[in-house]
């Protein structure tokens, strides 16, 4: 049987809607819930974390914990 639940988030409404059932399932089955967040539009050869942070701030992220 399964030991944990993984839900992916990549910035779309569809991926955000996956959270509710994942949370309910994790609670009902008493399993840990893990989230995987996918970053897009990150410079391919970013040498500095500041470059990555700059791109993230320009994103359309609507969740306060992902930006």
**Helical H runs in the chain?**
13-17, 19-29, 49-58
For residue 37, give the nearest of 3, 2, 62 by alpha carbon.
62
What's the pLDDT score for residue 67? Answer: 46
* Span 4-28, average pLDDT: 86
pLDDT one-digit tens code per residue, 20-61 = 899 999 999 999 999 888 766 665 665 666 666 666 666 555
d(CA 38, CA 8): 8
Q: Are 34 and 18 in contact (CB under 8 A)?
A: no
Rounded to two decimals, the pTM is 0.53
What's the pLDDT score for residue 37? Answer: 80
Greater confidence, 4 or 15? 4
d(CA 28, CA 48): 42
Map out the domains of the chain as residue ranges: 5-66
């Amino acid at each position: 049987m399964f030991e944990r639940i993984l839900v992916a988030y990549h910035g779309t409404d569809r991926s955000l809607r996956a959270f509710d059932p994942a949370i309910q399932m994790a609670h009902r089955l008493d399993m840990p819930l893990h989230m995987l967040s996918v970053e897009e539009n990150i410079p391919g050869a970013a040498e500095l974390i500041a470059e990555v942070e700059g791109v993230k701030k320009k994103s359309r992220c609507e969740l306060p914990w992902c930006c």
